[in-house]
Structure 1
Amino acid sequence: MSDRFDEIRRQIAENDERVIALVNRRLELVAELWQLKAELGLDVVDPDRERRLRERLASANAGPLSPGGVDRLVTALLELTKRELGA
């Protein structure tokens, strides 16, 4: 039982590290996109794009994360992105 417990915790830790790496990569890509938008004179925040993102991720969710959980996660991700990149 203890071996399985340790294995599950190891997998959770690895998954958490992947989440951090993916969020960091997302921030890099968004920073690049915002630079291009600035050069083109476009607003960095696009509410319609954010709405479509929510819809796409809600559709892609196979659970067990609830629809409300997806919405909260996307909200947190967008807020984090804006805070980290200064929007």
Structure 2
Amino acid sequence: MTIDDIRKRIDLMDDVLLRIFNERARLALQIGHIKKGLDLPVYDPSREKRIFTRMKGENPGPLDDGAIVRLFERVVDESRRLERIMSQAEGNEDVNNY
């Protein structure tokens, strides 16, 4: 394989990751909507800890567990940010509807 061949494979994988990240974000927004209706907090540290523990347990390498946790911390952090934005936007709509 040449460098260009490998880069093409990386580009294809990046495309898949992009779709996966956005689908995960859509699901997180659905959870955020449910949490808002149940008056639950956006931040659930025990859930995040379970995610990181599970991902470390599933990690085949070559990335070490620290790298996996850092990557998932970013993914979870962005999901939480989206949930907060959605929650604030819905709160503004509620105020505007009265």
TM over 0.5: yes
- Partners of 2:72 and 2:3 in 1: CA distance: 30
TM-score by length of 2: 0.79
**Structure 1 gap segments, 5+ residues each:** none
TM-superposed CA distance for 1:34, in Å, is 0.8
- Number of aligned residue pairs: 85
- The answer for the alignment partner of 2:93 in structure 1 is none
Higher relative contact order (CA 8 A, sep 6+): 2
The equivalent of 1:80 in structure 2 is 78
Identity of matched residues, %: 32
Q: Which of 31, 34, 45 is the equivalent residue of 2:32?
A: 34
The two structures have a TM-score, normalised by structure 1, of 0.88
Q: Larger C-alpha radius of gyration, 1 or 2? A: 2
Instruction: Give 3-state SS (helix, strand or coil) of 2:25's partner.
Output: helix
Which runs of structure 1 show a deviation greater than 6 angstroms over 4 or more consecutive aligned residues? none
